[in-house]
Structure 1
Amino acid sequence: QNPENGKYRLGMKLVERGHFVVGSIDIRQKAKGWLTELSRRTGQTTHLGILDGREGVYIEKIEGKLAAIAYSRIGRRLPVHATAIGKVLIAWLGEAELNALLCTDPKKLDS
């Protein structure tokens, strides 16, 4: 629940427990064409991810043709503060949500 506006958002736990959600709203299939086109135009690897707590989860990946290597795999979870996709996923969060998500002690973030 967003503390600023009281709205709810579906989390990964619901997807993991309720496989029917993925079957009825397959965001990967809907996004795949866009990801493929973006990869084709830029030559870069493109990713689709979702926010699950303090982690970004890769749910789709289209390999680019350029030499840059992206060490990612579908299903991989990484802390949002440590990855580009994580930073994108939290970029539009409200201040209260962002403060609740991230701690202020850098040592805690890296442990």
Structure 2
Amino acid sequence: MLAALVLALPLVAAGAGSAAAAPELPSVQVDARACSDTDPTPQIRLVLGPGAVVCYGGYRGSLRVDDLWATGLASGGYWGYVTCNLNPNYPQELFAPNEFVPLSCPVMWIGITGPNWTP
């Protein structure tokens, strides 16, 4: 009985793995990631000050940033927006690929959108 169960396990595992072989959709998550020049799409780089940078990437969506004071944003290969926490109006700055957006504010949100997106 035990031998039959042990022999059946590879068949169950093979069946379970077939769903994992389906093509994966790109992640919709925007996330902070280690800065790298090897990503297929150049990363968004939030400049906090001289030598202090936080990198982001992903597909589409937004990420709440913990009110990091930023002096600029290099857009990398992305379209999107950055929202500053400057009460009461929370201004948004839109960006397109290969742009540098000067900032002087605590950043609340970073969003990745498609081209020609409007808030």
TM class, shorter-length:
under 0.3
TM-score, normalised to structure 2, is 0.24
Between structures 1 and 2, the one with greater strand share: 2
| Higher RCO structure (Cα 8 Å, ≥6 apart) | 2
The TM-score, its normalising length taken from structure 1, stands at 0.25
More helix by share: 1
